[in-house]
Structure 1
Amino acid sequence: MSSSVIDYLATEARLGAQNYAPIGVVLSRGEGVWVWDTDGNRYLDCLSAYSALNQGHCHPKILAAMVEQASRLTLTSRAFHNDQLALFYEEIAALTGSHKVLPMNSGAEAVESAIKSVRKWGYEVKGVPDGQAEIIVCADNFHGRTLGIVGFSTDPETRTHFGPFAPGFRIIPFGDVKALERAITQNTVAFLVEPIQGEAGVIIPPVGYFTEVRQLCTAHNVMLVLDEIQTGLGRTGKLLAEQHEGIEADVTLLGKALSGGFYPVSAVLSNNDVLGTLRPGQHGSTFGGNPLACAVARAAMRVLVEEGMIENAATQGARFLQGLKDIRANTIRDVRGRGLMLAVELHPEAGRARRYCEALQAKGILAKDTHEHTIRIAPPLVITSDQVDWALEQFATTLTLDFS
């Protein structure tokens, strides 16, 4: 590790809040699937900023749209109209089949906005008594880190010493339809759930789960809110992960790759009933729907479709998944994934996944551990077959190491 890297890390440790534990690499440049550190070493990015970089690092067409718009108009606030917002609405609605769009900035803001909106819908449309609305969520969920969201997390790391928390949430096991049915009451306004639990370790529900979930929510007039902030925009080999079971959510949350990694952009997509209850002054954001964000998001969506990235995610994801399953290593407990959202879970006795991520770094692969024994793998959707095969070689040699 060079002295300059040590200086960067020391300065971060001295001045920054210690709320992250990054891998010990300092990155300075990115292009496509590759990133370079300050010493000039090249790595294959297998995290994609938690799926915010589906289109790859510094995609030239998104960059061009950002530069062009930044030279014209960046921010108006929603006190005035701008010439990018309506176009963004049209294009995202056409792409996803949505009826209403609420633009925000971060994924957590989209989740908070959805919570507010479904509660309002519950009181004004469904007729739930004021103050009694309930939202069902799943254990091991990850929807963000705001105070409202961590209140219904089951991860002690995100909750401890941050309370008191707001009521109004029921927690059930993920992938259990019967548990959902038992939890629904006359005051239930929504079921908020990830199609695949990413932070929990790429946990995929049983086949047919969301088909039954959709039927239950429809039967009980409960809004199905799918948090597609990580799974959406091609990550799983479909535009939206819901398409793997041919269902449609009432409310869909997008973020991360909605800007291709250039700018914080998120959106709540809904039917008319839910977002139709909002009136001027009841919800907003200074930067939400700003012209720079809209121009960037329009370009980010366009390249996903025009350059076949979604189809490539399906093809290369299947190749990557099979290659990981073919690795014969006593360290591996399970391999799972959908599209380019993959995970290798290690046996606890193999040691912590962090050690394997550090060993992968030495071989030119950047991946990240989660929940101690799982390695998440999520490269940009522009990855090629040759790059997948090279990555598999590095994983094969690394996963045979013994750090126990």
Structure 2
Amino acid sequence: MNDIALQRSLADRYIETEALYGAKNYKPLDVVLTRGEGVYVWDVDGRRYMDCLSAYSAVNQGHCHPKILAAMVEQASRLTLTSRAFRNDQLAAFYEELCALTNSHKVLPMNSGAEAVETALKVARKWGYEVKGVPEGQAEIIVAAENFHGRTVAIVGFSTDPQSRGGFGPFAPGFRTVPFGDAAALEAAITPNTVAFLVEPIQGEAGVIIPPAGYLKRARELCTQHNVILILDEIQTGLGRTGRLLAEEHEGIEADLTLIGKALSGGFYPVSAVLSNSEVMSVLHPGEHGSTFGGNPLACAVARAALKVLTEEGMVENAARVGARLMGRLAEIRAPQVKEVRGRGLMLAVELHADAGGARRVCEALQARGLLAKETHEHTIRIAPPLILTDDQADWIADQFAEVLR
């Protein structure tokens, strides 16, 4: 048996072992990856692919960025975890640098994106009771239809996706749903008990759905007018993905609570954070919320390095420029199965007509050509390569899509 046959047998064994021992809560493409560098990943057969998912925007800085890796190794050799029972020498610098970069007053560090969302929900409710004066137990939070904010029981309780919420109830009360992008519906839903409006600037999991121009600005005005906290979930859209550091910058607004994660560590470590103004975050006191791993020295050191390379190496600006180029090339594809090409920066999507045979089939054809992308909501292919993408690489992506779709 030759080496290639042995390697292929190994890949099959990995897939079979996953199926035997793992919970079946994902349906990945059948590629077994073993190494990554920049925009590329390699499978156990030695074949190279261009990564056009970036771990759902967690790897904005590219795979295994050497400066982030160096920071992680250096910190891991000194101190990894103390819990928040003690202070560490990385947390203060992380706070200071992140606040300066994002124009925030306060930071609350967590680990996953879902934890950041849960944190924001708790903070908003507590603020509503203690500051706004909402009667205890009656706080309401408005969310958008087709949202995706994570997988906890509270979060899936206000999802409108039957697959996300089916079979997991009963759910926590206190949430009202309005259509995404509809400012009039938002205004109509606000009551004296409304404490917050939670929304993604661009809905990623729903298929890179971009709201009408002016929507976020109007939402900001309504929240200010009615004394409601605006919470922007920038876990996917933030940290350069849309061509700005935060997607809220496209409309010149600032949220009261901004949620970031994923690329905050460059893909090396679970790190998330809630960014806030001083008034809202001041409602939390010792013992009311926390995390053993949140704000640990390893996480802080990694995040500091990830933010530094993101800004110093011009990745945000590159996402805007190369993203516009890729968007233009994809829009030129003339194929009857394509319904729409949309996006902002390097957060793009190709939506197919419902009778086109499904997006999974296209993703598998792209995989055969050395490009990894992933379907969402059956008919849409998300395209989100690392922000270090070059012009030539963007053109190559468009060429592969053109060949497959035609």
Instruction: Say yes or no: TM over 0.5.
Output: yes
- Identical positions, percent: 75
Matched, 1:64 2:70: yes
Q: Match for residue 42 of structure 1?
A: 48
- In structure 2, the residue matched to 1:91 is 97
Deviation string 1:113-145 (CA, Å, 9 cap, x unpaired) is 000000000000000000000000000000000
* Residue of structure 1 equivalent to 2:130: 124
Q: Output the CA distance in 2 between the equivalents of 1:7 and 1:36.
A: 17
In 2, distance between residues paired with 1:391 and 1:208?
31
Amino acid of the residue matched to residue 178 of structure 1? A
The 4+ residue runs of structure 1 with deviation greater than 4 A are none
Q: Is 1:289 matched with 2:290?
A: no
Deviation for aligned residue 1:391: 1.1
- Matches of 1:200 and 1:39, distance apart in 2: 33
Once the two structures are superposed, residues 164-183 of structure 1 have per-residue CA deviations (whole angstroms, 9 ceiling, x without a partner) of: 00000000000000000000
Pairs within 5 Å for 1:4-403: 4-400=10-406
Q: Deviations over 1:342-375 (max 9, x none)?
A: 0000011111100000000000000000000000
State how far apart, in whole Å, the 2-side matches of 1:289 and 1:255 are.
13
- In the aligned structure 2, how far is the partner of 1:320 from the partner of 1:349? 26
| CA distance in structure 2 between the partners assigned to 1:182 and 1:278 by the alignment | 30
Distance 1:393 1:338 in 2: 20
Q: What secondary structure does 1:349 align onto? A: coil
Aligned mates of 1:196, 1:391 — CA distance in 2: 22
Structure 1 distance, partners of 2:349, 2:294, is 33
1:5 CA displacement: 1.1
Query: Given the two structures, how large is their TM-score scaled by the length of structure 1?
Result: 0.99
RMSD (Å) for aligned C-alpha atoms = 0.6
Q: CA deviation at 1:211?
A: 1.0
Q: Secondary structure at the match of 2:188?
A: helix
Q: Cα deviation per residue 1:286-331 (whole Å; 9 max; x = unaligned)?
A: 0000000000000000000000000000001000100000001111
Provide the aligned length of Structure 1 versus Structure 2: 400
TM-score normalised by L of structure 2: 0.98
CA distance in 2 between counterparts of 1:228 and 1:368 reads 20
Q: Unpaired segments of 5 or more residues in structure 1?
A: none
**For residues 169-214 of structure 1, what are the alpha-carbon distances to aligned partners after superposition, in whole Å with 9 as ceiling and x for unaligned?**
0000000000000000000000000000000000000011111111
SS at match of 2:187: helix
**CA distance in structure 1 between the partners assigned to 2:208 and 2:167 by the alignment:** 27
Listed as ranges, the gaps of 5+ residues in structure 2 are none
Q: Post-superposition shift, 1:80?
A: 0.3
Task: Find the residue that maps to 1:190 and give its secondary structure.
Answer: strand
- Tell me the secondary structure at the aligned position of residue 321 of structure 1: helix
- What is the SS of the residue equivalent to 1:348? coil
